[in-house]
């Protein structure tokens, strides 16, 4: 490894695999392809596109991502058996630069699951890694729950994997158990102790159960790891994974004490964060580092005064470094298509003509109702636009009666498969009444798992972005919409989710997902 290579940290994004395991974060096929394209464009070195054996949908997504990738290595996940590995290879082999990532749980708790003793597991690791290497010359191996695996046994199995042909050894902190100093020592000691360790790349995969995923990942790099596994917005199982935007910007801002480089174009971070938030249905918390709404906001008088005199007083990085533009009054009802297209391009959105026409119509409607149209309003319009998927259900009109006395009432007219239907319903509040009305016209057994409302900007005329998550027989879908009327936004988001559910029904034929793969890596 050259000195330059020693300073280079490989970014391995697993938003489409580990990130999607976050309950309710299931993405559609087209959304996976879109996010993969954005990751590739941003400079992510390796994209873990999915778990091909999990379902036919996952296999198809990994295959198409592999076929379309321009720069990134495309990786698939496989458990430690030949069937998983063969299926993974069938998907990733279409990539110009494919990788197989195979894993097995090595801690005492995880060895008990397949009921293997140490010798039996060691044999399986040798067989499966060797098999993967026979198929692909780029093989990553992970001892799941490595941070709770006995030290002597961890060294033993890492050596076996290296001898079997693994080119990257990933050390997962599967349950967020470690701490920064320990994370650094673990990697350092493995590199110093295990024969052949100097011939492979060591990687780190950290979960955020104790809130230390970013610190633990950077600690591992200090110990000698040169690959960080991470996700956009820290999306992932339980408390999430290491956030890509955090580790990348930490190394960029503090290069004096963390002298490592990545190939990430950081100006694309904000746009990608927003898209992942939209398609996953997981809103970014306002005070989230780097990409949160308040990350560059200053309200304190002392802070504002300092910012006016010198931005560096209270900002250690520039908003434009992460692709953030200021929220200004930029558009009005007299603005034309060309101005809208140019502004959206500045915000990171390049739309086809038909998409622009759809956004333009909705922009004009918003400009007539809202005095001030901000960047965030435009982003909401694009992010919650009409799906290319089936729109069998559409809201035609909604009238809600609410107040302090008596039950709230909704009068709804919907277009269902081209025919208009109307109904009235009551409920515990206007949103509940509206959802009951939708269910009157389109009966279903889907369970509402999540209902969230977020104001896009300030003021009583602000748009509300509503997210809903629904589950039916193992299928999980999300729906989003934005409107200055919160109840209307709620109704459209609910119907958006139902339309997606109909598409899932058609594609799965009523079957539930084939494989559960929670808590892997």
Mark the binding-site residues, compressed into ranges: 18, 205, 207, 241
DSSP assignment of 112-130 equals TTTT--HHHHHHHHHHHHH
Say how far apart CA 61 and CA 421 lie, in whole Å. 37
Say how far apart CA 187 and CA 198 lie, in whole Å. 12
Residue 83 is encoded by which pair of tokens? Answer: 């069937």
Alpha helices in 257-374 (DSSP H): 269-280, 301-309, 337-346, 353-369
- 354 to 344, 350, 360: CA distances (angstroms): 14, 12, 10
- 215 to 218, 243, 247, 255, 477: CA distances (angstroms): 5, 10, 8, 15, 33
* Residue 353, phi then psi, degrees to nearest 5: -60, -45
Task: Look at strands 408-416 and 168-173 and give their pairing.
Answer: unpaired
Q: Which residue has the tokens 């596109």?
A: 49
Residue 475 is encoded by which pair of tokens? Answer: 């299928």
Residue 31 is encoded by which pair of tokens? Answer: 């959304």
Residue 326, Cβ neighbours under 10 Å: how many?
Answer: 10
Beta strands across the sheet bearing 408-416: 393-401, 408-416, 419-427
DSSP-derived 3-state class of residue 353 = helix
Residues 288 and 302 sit within 8 Å (Cβ to Cβ): no
* CA 445 centroid distance within chain: 27
Residue 1 is encoded by which pair of tokens? Answer: 């490894």
Say how far apart CA 506 and CA 165 lie, in whole Å. 42
Residues 88 and 53 sit within 8 Å (Cβ to Cβ): yes
| Closest by CA position to 137, among listed 103, 89, 87, 176 | 89
Say how far apart CA 231 and CA 521 lie, in whole Å. 13
For residue 189, give every residue at least 6 positions away whose Cβ sits within 8 Å of its Cβ, in sequence order, or none. none
Binding residues for Mn(2+): 18, 205, 207, 241
């Amino acid at each position: 490894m050259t000195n330059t290579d020693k300073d280079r940290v490989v970014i391995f994004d697993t938003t489409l695999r580990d990130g999607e395991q976050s309950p309710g974060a299931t993405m559609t096929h087209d959304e996976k392809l879109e996010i993969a394209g954005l990751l590739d464009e941003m400079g992510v070195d390796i994209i873990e596109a999915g778990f091909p054996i999990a379902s036919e949908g996952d296999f198809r997504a990994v295959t198409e991502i592999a076929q379309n990738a321009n720069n990134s290595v495309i990786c698939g996940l496989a458990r430690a058996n030949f069937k998983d590995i063969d299926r993974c290879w069938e998907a990733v082999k279409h990539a110009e630069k494919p990788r197989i990532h195979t894993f097995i749980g090595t801690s005492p708790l995880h060895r008990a699951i397949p009921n293997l003793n140490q010798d039996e597991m060691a044999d399986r690791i040798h067989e499966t890694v060797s098999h993967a290497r026979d198929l692909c010359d780029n093989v990553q191996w992970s001892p799941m729950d490595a941070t709770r695996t006995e030290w002597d046994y961890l060294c033993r199995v890492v050596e076996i994997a290296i001898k079997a042909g693994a080119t990257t050894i990933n050390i997962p902190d599967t349950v967020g158990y470690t701490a920064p100093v320990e994370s650094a020592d673990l990697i350092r000691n493995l590199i110093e102790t295990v024969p052949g360790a100097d011939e492979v790349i060591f990687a780190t995969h950290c979960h955020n159960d104790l809130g230390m995923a970013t610190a633990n990942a950077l600690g591992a790099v200090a110990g000698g790891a040169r690959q960080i596994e991470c996700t956009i917005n820290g999306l992932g199982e339980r408390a999430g994974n290491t956030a890509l935007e955090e580790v990348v910007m930490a190394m960029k801002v503090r290069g004096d004490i963390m002298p490592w480089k990545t190939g990430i174009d950081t100006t694309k971070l904000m746009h990608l964060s927003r898209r992942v938030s939209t398609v996953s249905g997981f809103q970014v918390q306002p005070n989230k580092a780097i990409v949160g709404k308040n990350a560059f906001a200053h309200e304190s008088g002392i802070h504002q005064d300092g910012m006016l005199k010198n931005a560096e007083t209270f900002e250690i990085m520039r908003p434009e470094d992460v692709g953030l533009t200021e929220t200004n009054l930029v558009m009005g009802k007299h603005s034309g298509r060309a101005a809208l297209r140019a502004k959206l391009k500045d915000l990171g959105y390049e739309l086809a003509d038909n998409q622009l026409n759809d956004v333009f119509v909705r922009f004009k409607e918003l400009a007539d109702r809202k005095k001030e149209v901000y960047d965030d309003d435009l982003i909401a319009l694009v992010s919650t636009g009409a799906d290319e998927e089936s729109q069998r259900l559409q809201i035609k009109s909604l009238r809600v009666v609410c107040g302090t006395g008596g039950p709230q009432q909704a009068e709804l007219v919907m277009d269902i498969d081209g025919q208009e239907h109307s109904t009235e319903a009551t409920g515990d509040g206007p949103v509940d009444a509206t959802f009951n009305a939708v269910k009157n016209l389109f009966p279903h057994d889907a369970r509402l798992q999540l209902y969230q409302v977020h104001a896009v900007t300030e003021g009583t005329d602000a748009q509300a972005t509503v997210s809903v998550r629904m589950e039916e027989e193992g299928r999980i879908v999300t729906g989003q919409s934005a409107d200055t009327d919160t109840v209307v936004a709620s109704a459209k988001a609910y119907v958006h989710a139902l339309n997606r559910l109909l598409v899932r029904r058609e594609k799965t034929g009523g079957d539930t997902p084939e494989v559960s793969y929670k808590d892997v890596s």
